[in-house]
Chain A
Amino acid sequence: MPAATRRSGGRGGRGPALALAALRRLAGMATTLLVTSFLVFSSLYLAPGDPVSFLVKGRSPSPQELDTIREQYGFNDPFPVRYWHWLEGVLQGDFGRSYLFHQGVGDVVWSRLPASLLLIGVSMLLIAVFGVGAGIVGALRRGTWADSTVLLMVTVGAAVPSFVAAILLRSVFGVQLGWFPTFGNGEGALDRLHHVVLPAIALSVTFTALVTRVTRTAMLDELRREHVEVALSRGIPRRSVIRRHVLRNALGPIVTVSALLVSGMLVSTALVETAFGMAGVGSLLVQAVSQQDFQVVQAIVLLVVAAFVLINALVDLLYPLIDPRVAAQGSAR
């Protein structure tokens, strides 16, 4: 590639360009969320079942009573009107009321958030440490028994769904060995951590395998590059070359893939939290879906999409630090 066309314009014009890129980025995020909100809202109304039947569960109401409920919850309004009312509320931070908990949806989700964040946080740590670690070992010991072990674990790990891992871990380390609790969130910091160990492992197995594979491949790619040979030819110790050149330059693909995995992780929390009886946002989603608590489902799906969009925006924002060739001009990516 000719150097001139890639030059990012070191002098003037960078500030406004950056601001414009940020604005464009924000507009894009807002559009994504808007479209998602519409899809989420409409798809739930297409789903079988009627929220009214849940609200009157256990009783057989008269048609008049049913009508009153429908009127009260606005079920009689035309679809666009209902969507607009809901959107208005959401924009003001009001996600409606949960039929199931008789509380504001915001409060219900909010109270479950810390447990899920802890689970996701610990899982990400495990994925980063073991995924990247195993990938490095595989790449540096390529073709040895260590590499074969890593590859075998990657194949197995990628093939094990998180709920299967959850069941296995529970029965072995929870029930048979009794090392870890098998149910609930726990009380107090240490107990909570103790409770989150098995769920976090279950959640991270598949993603660790994927990160390992990406790390190994990216490292092997970088090891073949000429700048690595140049660094070695200059007498820089191999260990430093691995750290400063190979791993550093392999960071781009690793970070990109990790950001993409986050969405999958958020969805998998539903299975893992349910399997371990944890009261988190994921298990709340399962509960809300099965009980047709639409307002809660909508709020959680929107939250997940928002988290995904935010993380991707963050990665894009940080990417120029990882690879300076990618100028911070949103349009380029």
Chain B
Amino acid sequence: MALLDIDALSVTLPGMARPILDRIELTVAAGETVALVGESGSGKSVTARAALGLFPAGADLAGRVRVEDIDLVGADAARLREVRTGIAAMIFQDPRAGISPVRRIGDFLTEALRLVGGWSRARADARAAELLAAVGLPDPERHLRQFPHEMSGGMLQRVMIAAALCGEPRLLLCDEPTTALDVATQAEILALLGRLRRERDLGLLLITHDIELAAASCDRIYVMYAGRIVETATADELFARPRHPYTAGLLGSSPPQEGPLTRLAPIPGAPMSLLESATGCAFAPRCRFAEPGRCDQAPPVLEPHGAGRVACHRADELEPPVLAHLAPDSEDR
């Protein structure tokens, strides 16, 4: 059974031309690392927050978000608290913004335990120190008394991870956990997350705009564009044989991790804003394979193709070799 099961989730804000999320399907099982990849504004973060029942204020919701069989759409406060304190937890992008600057680290870590769990101060402090040690901070007792501004970004992200582990969650949502950090620290944090996943058999949902990173560290990948999942497959499959032109574009526009550095091929145009809507495929205006008369028809649905699933009108014709022409060294670039 899936730990997280998002089924046909649509999130619509009044006054916007298109839904923020449009029939999202996504699952994460225990022990599995799943990536959700897309550009800024594609809806990745909204999807991850939905897994904690944090929906945009005033949004219309449809579909289901189940975490261990608890449906979060329309759940009451007690249910949400149960999920947030004991089943799922989130690690945010910028730990410096995510931790209140006026309270001590110890206070931040023990807040949920003491306020919701009713733990005593001594017991909560001991647990917090234990967690800080578990995320690799050398001097837990001292860190508990420090203020956020007295720690580095990398240390704070470890604190954030420790805070997420407080309630022994089984699902960890990581919203660009390394974007605000320097490169060396990024690798450390990713290694730490990997270790925690193995040790605790966590389901990990990694949100990133870096498809190379996703391919290197995850089992499965979902690719999002303009509020829809456009392709999903195992990391190896997606990396070797992207089927959606957008996925291929993402791969072509990021530097290869091995081999000589070649010219990158950017995706032309800009992502669609929430004030724009498309009658057909949202990616069609930027897609070099878009075919008038087909791609401006009703948006494609996610259908099985090869080893994965793709939402593209031309998925049948565009076989991986065709898409390979998007690669940086193709003749017309």
Contacts and interface: CB of A to CB of B under 8 A. Distances in A.
Interface in B145-166: 146-147, 149-153, 160, 163-164, 166
B115 A323 contact: no
A235 B84 contact: yes
Contacts of A322: 102
B121 interface: no
Contacts of A3: 149-153
Interface stretch (B91-99, B208-216, B272-280, B302-310): B91-99
A187 interface: no
A333 interface: no
B100 A235 contact: no
B13 interface: no
A149 to B, nearest CB: 21
Interface in A241-295: 244-245, 248-249
B150 A230 contact: no
B280 to A, nearest CB: 35
Interface string B86-108: 10011010100111111100000
A194 interface: no
B319 interface: no
Contacts of B84: 232-235
Nearest to B145: A10
Contacts of A232: 54, 84
B92 A231 contact: no
B116 interface: yes
Interface centre among B52, B83, B160, B166 (most CB of A within 10 A): B52
A249 B100 contact: yes
Given A6-B149, A226-B92, A235 B116 contact: yes
B181 interface: no
Contacts of A14: none
Interface size class of B (residues with CB under 8 A): 35 or more
A226 B101 CA distance: 11
A7 interface: yes
A234 B101 contact: no
Nearest to A4: B152
B111 A231 contact: yes
Nearest to A248: B102
A7 B77 CA distance: 39
A249 B160 CA distance: 19
Contacts of B153: 3
B271 interface: no
Contact of B112 (A7, A225, A234, A325): A234
A249 B111 contact: no
B163 A227 contact: no
A238 B54 CA distance: 12
Q: Is the interface of A mostly helix, strand, loop or mixed?
A: helix
Nearest to B48: A233
B147 A324 contact: yes
B315 interface: no
A233 B81 contact: no
Contact of A225 (B85, B97, B149): B97
Contact of B97 (A6, A226, A245): A226
Contacts of A324: 101-102, 147, 149
B116 A227 contact: no
B97 A227 contact: yes
B80 interface: yes
Interface size class of A (residues with CB under 8 A): 20 to 34
A8 interface: yes
B101 A323 contact: yes
A236 B107 CA distance: 13
B49 interface: yes
B111 A230 contact: no
Interface centre among B54, B85, B103 (most CB of A within 10 A): B103
Contacts of B149: 3, 6-7, 324-325
Interface centre among A227, A236, A323 (most CB of B within 10 A): A227
A325 B101 contact: yes
Contacts of A31: none
A197 B320 CA distance: 82
B167 interface: yes
A322 B97 CA distance: 18
A67 interface: no
B116 A237 contact: yes
Given A226-B98, A325-B101, A235 B150 contact: no
A97 to B, nearest CB: 51
Contacts of B116: 235-237
A259 to B, nearest CB: 18
A235 B81 contact: yes
Nearest to B107: A244
A240 interface: yes
Ranked 5 nearest A-B pairs via Cβ: A235-B84, A235-B85, A226-B97, A230-B98, A235-B81
6 contacts: A227-B101, A229-B54, A230-B98, A237-B81, A245-B100, A249-B102
Interface of B: 49, 52, 54, 77, 80-86, 89-90, 92, 94, 97-103, 111-112, 115-116, 146-147, 149-153, 160, 163-164, 166-167
Interface of A: 3, 6-8, 10, 225-227, 229-238, 240, 244-245, 248-249, 322-325
Given A7-B150, A234-B163, A235-B167, 9 more contacts: A3-B150, A8-B150, A227-B100, A227-B101, A230-B99, A235-B80, A244-B111, A245-B100, A249-B102
